[in-house]
Amino acid sequence: MKTLKISTLKVNPILLAPMVDVTDLPYRLLCKEQGAGIVYTEMLHVEAIKHGEKKVHDKMRFDDKERPIGIQITFSELNTLKEIIPRLKDYDLVDINCGCPSHLTIDHGSGVCLMNSPEKVASAIKLLKKSGIKIVTLKIRLGFKKNNAVEFAKAVEKAGADAITVHGRLGNQGRSTPADWKEIEKVKKAVKIPVIGNGDVVDGKNAERLLEFCDGIMIARGAIGDPGIFHRINNYLKTKKEEKFDFVNNIKLFKKYLGYCEEYNLKDVNKIKYIGPDFIKGIKGASKLRAEFTKLKTFEEIRHFIEQF
């Protein structure tokens, strides 16, 4: 089994992707326990960190049990980034998002827009490193509208980046376009730093294929409502046997997730309702149960509903 080495970190190479409204502390902890090598906060804009509302504070919280943990940030102004660096120092690494295509993000020149400004990103990496952030990584797409992943990766490597995750799509390509792993491989061949492949990993077999040429892989949608995917993929890599998805175990994991939400006082009903239906799959009558689930209003109602299984 491969080990992913990023600077001083040595981890299992199957990573949980940062996901807005999904990868909160309870969810990350669950995925960590199931075998994720590194977990990340959801993407946070440096402006939001600077203003420090309670919501952002909650999104930044972590438990030492999650280590190694990365905070994912995006930025447009280097000055704001500079101001918030002290808030980034407790994490094991800082990951710069150069891939988010949402309008809220790109209208401010951050996210995937940063792929059009390699010099600005290089300055950000140097600034973070000079300010004592030991490990700086990037998560990129193949480009904004035009593929410039290889040139971009070379530029950030030169600036001191410790690793790069490549999501194999352009910024203007939706999730229905298959991720282009061949383009990820081109990046891998062009740089010496570790390259983590991302896009469309759903089981042990395709995880193994991506790992043939990448140093690590990162899973997003495949892990929503199915933290056990990390256990199954790790097991496949060891035994070459694909374990079946086990819905009884998955409901147990959902209960554990709710327990963590309570323990850490992070009971965000909207968030739980967003990922909850994905936990309820494979069960007889799942679609009816999911419809009932969406009508629940409080944390207690959700807990009560799940206790019936």
Q: Which residues bind ligand FMN (CB under 6 A)?
A: 17-20, 22, 42-43, 72, 97, 99-100, 139, 167, 198-201, 219-222
Q: Catalytic: which of 100, 113, 214, 261?
A: 100
Q: How far is the CB of 234 from ligand FMN (least distance, A)?
A: 16
Nearer to ligand FMN, 196 or 253 (CB): 196
User: Residues 304, 293: contact at Cβ < 8 Å?
Assistant: no
Main-chain phi, psi angles of 218, to 5 degrees: -125, 135
* Total count of residues recorded for the chain: 309
User: Residues 134, 8: contact at Cβ < 8 Å?
Assistant: yes
Main-chain phi, psi angles of 266, to 5 degrees: -125, 60
Nearer to ligand FMN, 21 or 246 (CB): 21
Q: How far is the CB of 44 from ligand FMN (least distance, A)?
A: 8
Nearest CA to 160 out of 126, 114, 123 is that of: 126
Q: How far is the CB of 168 from ligand FMN (least distance, A)?
A: 8
Where do we find the tokens 């827009």?
113
Bridge partner list, 197: 166, 217
Q: How far is the CB of 284 from ligand FMN (least distance, A)?
A: 27
DSSP strand pairing (4-6 vs 9-11):
antiparallel
Q: How far is the CB of 95 from ligand FMN (least distance, A)?
A: 8
Annotated active-site residue 261? The verdict is no
Residues known to be catalytic: 100
